[in-house]
Amino acid sequence: MKRIFALAAICLMVLSLSACKNNKKKAADAAADDAVAIFDGETWEGWRGYLTDHVPGAWTIEDGCIKINGSGRGEAGAVDGGDIIFAAKKFKNFEFTFEWKVSEGANSGVFFLAQEVPGISIYQTCPEYQILDNERHPDAKLGRDGNRQSASLYDIIPAKPQNAKPAGEWNTAKIMVYEGTVVHYQNGEPVVEYHLWTPKWEELINNSKFSQANMPESYEYILNVGGENHEGYIGLQDHGDTVWYRNLKVKEL
């Protein structure tokens, strides 16, 4: 009888330890999965155009994706086009994950820490994670050392390694921002890292198309990205080409 009780006690102990491990795993999984979708796949809830009160007609929702329908008229050239932002909330320290796919020869971009400034384009106020068909769009060969290819900090730092998938295939992406440190990820790999509001950041800006000499009207905005509170909007670019986005989620840090 004593032996039976002893075996029962051991079994209970093992089950208890197993339950603890399972609970810890569930807690860890929950912590890793507390990202919030900023696009529900069906409606424009939370979204609008940059400096407008509606989503421009060039943007549509298709099969659970955000789609910018190419106009062939260049950046924001559609009759009812232009960039869009998730205007329901500004983000400060966060991880933003999403998937993107381009049509052949397409160009777009993802903005973050963006500000709304009348008379100034959104790309002049914040960093841009480049979205591009590297094989066909001429921007892939412009700039310096590939710094206009996909996942690059546009015109500033090239994404290395360059591991984008061809036009028509889905890519995964993540942008991590924490206390001024920013990391771009593409298809599971970190490809760019930089540090905002530092002497190095100022040097990078001054060696790019965003320099004070090139864009004096917006220089202070890009230099002091995120404004006084170091926060801003997430946005998507209309560059006149057809591009899809899906599974847009933000985890605040």
pLDDT at 79: 73
pLDDT of res. 37: 98
- The whole-number pLDDT of residue 6 equals 45
Q: Mean pLDDT across the chain, nearest whole number?
A: 89
Q: pTM of the prediction?
A: 0.86
> According to the model, what pLDDT value does residue 30 have?
38
- Residue 71 pLDDT level (bands cut at 50, 70, 90): confident
- When comparing pLDDT for 25 and 146, which is higher? 146
Closest CA to 224 of 163, 162, 180: 180
Nearby residues of 68 by Cβ (< 8 Å), 6 or more positions away: 58, 59, 81, 108, 236, 237, 238, 239, 241, 242, 243
Q: Whole-angstrom Cα distance, residue 29 to residue 98? A: 19
CB contact at 8 A, 242 and 69: yes
- What integer is the mean pLDDT of 70-84? 77
The model's confidence at residue 229, banded by pLDDT at 50, 70 and 90, is very high
Q: What is the pLDDT of residue 29?
A: 43
* Confidence band for 80, pLDDT divided at 50, 70 and 90: confident
pLDDT in tens, 131-175: 999 999 999 999 999 999 999 999 999 999 999 999 999 999 999
Answer yes or no: CATH 2.60.120.560 is held by domain 37-252. yes
